[in-house]
Amino acid sequence: MAKRDYYEVLGVDSSAAAPEIKKAFRRIAMKFHPDRNPDDKNADEKFKEAQEAYEILSDVEKKSTYDRFGHAGLDQNGGGQGGAGFSDVFGDVFGDIFGGGGGRGRSGPARGSDLRYDLQLDLEHAVKGKTVQIEVPTMTHCDPCGGSGARKGTSPVTCDTCGGVGQVRMSQGFFSVQQACPTCRGSGKKISNPCGTCHGQGVKEERKTLSVKIPAGVDTGDRIRLSGKGEAGPQGGPAGDLYVEMHVREHDIFVRDGSNLHCEVPISFSQAALGGDLEVPTLSGKVKLKIPAETQSGKLFRLRGKGVAPVRGGAQGDLLCRVVVETPVNLSAEQRALLEGFDQSLAGASKHSPRSNNWFDGVKKFFDNLTS
């Protein structure tokens, strides 16, 4: 019987890339694997057909030959003898079918879990850097047994299931799969007389105080990795890592945007009209900001180099001050009279309010266009 087109077998186009071909084979292998369909000969045939197709299409040279000459070219060149990457995808498939690690068994005691610590920082400390003390609940090696999990005076013994290698080989139909040993969980050792303190786990719960140096310029989302400061591994295994994640609190004055800082500076009506010098805060102290006469509300002033030096290097950012003209409140009768007199003195003089006059001219033109 003539062989089906390999691309048709896997359900992919001839232009499919390697990851798509691998994914297609994995899906078919999961569905038609003989051990999932022991009484279905048709499933067995489909599995073998998909296996052959993947062996060819996963090998760059064989795929090229097949694309040029079809099955005839492969028959002349001895095709179908195992494509590149075949064992890799089978590791993925077997891990799902048999519930193991795809033949990638562990060697020695398992590594401890990584931990994450969320650190709240004030903006000043994030910008300038600081050394902080943190307290982390974690698992540490048990002192009475030294982390071995065995009662004091005894030692773990070689696992009799795997012979101390930490892996076992399982036969599934015509396949053989290597997995972590279910008895010792890959450690190669078995504890016959467990420690009474940790019950054979080799670890205990504890709170550790650590010193963390926060570099200048960190921002929310940045992480610091402390190698070996995570949870201790069971039965004397190596510790995982601790990741300290930064969370910068909102500031009363400044808003951070990358390496720049923003702030709003309220000024009075007279300051905006007449101009003058104004003291504004920065993270390194007060500076004088010169307000020119006739400054409009919303005007942005840039103070170069008063922002943040990025933690990964680069030029220091700026401080951007937006002035906001504040309307006076709680006026006395005398103050109201002064303002009314001042307002009357401006009446009819368009040169004092260019923006207002331009806006009203625009509004008039808009309504004229609507009615024309």
Cα-Cα-Cα-Cα torsion 359, 364, 365, 370, nearest 10 degrees, comes to 130
What distance in Å separates the CA atoms of residue 154 and residue 164, rounded to the nearest whole number? 17
What pLDDT is stored for residue 1 in this prediction?
57
pLDDT of the residue at 110 = 72
With CA atoms as reference, report the closest residue to 172 among 30, 27, 35: 35
- Residue 257's pLDDT is what? 94
Q: Provide the pLDDT for residue 360.
A: 66
pLDDT under 50: residue ranges of the chain? 78-107
Pick the CATH number of 110-143+203-249 from 1.10.3720.10, 1.10.4190.10, 2.40.160.40, 2.60.260.20: 2.60.260.20
Q: Say which CATH superfamily domain 6-98 falls into.
A: DnaJ domain (1.10.287.110)
Contact in structure between 293 and 274 (CB atoms under 8 Å): yes
The per-residue pLDDT for 41 is 79
* Rounded Cα–Cα distance for residues 54 and 18 (Å): 10
Residue range(s) in the chain whose domain bears CATH number 2.60.260.20: 110-143+203-249, 255-325
Distance between terminal CA atoms of the chain? 83
Cα separation, 79 vs 89, whole angstroms:
19
Largest CA distance in the chain: 108
Q: pLDDT tens-digit profile of 163-205?
A: 778 788 776 555 667 777 887 777 778 888 888 888 887 888 8
Chain region(s) in the chain for CATH 1.10.287.110? 6-98
- Name the E strands within the chain: 115-121, 130-141, 157-158, 167-172, 175-180, 189-190, 203-214, 223-226, 242-248, 255-257, 260-267, 276-282, 285-291, 300-303, 319-325
Q: What CATH number was assigned to the domain covering residues 255-325?
A: 2.60.260.20
Rounded CA-CA distance 47/33 in Å is: 6
The predicted pLDDT at position 222 comes to: 92
pTM over 0.75: no
The tokens of 17 are what?
Answer: 């890339």
- Token pair, residue 351, equals 């040169």
**For residue 231, which of 210, 212, 205 has the smallest C-alpha distance?**
205
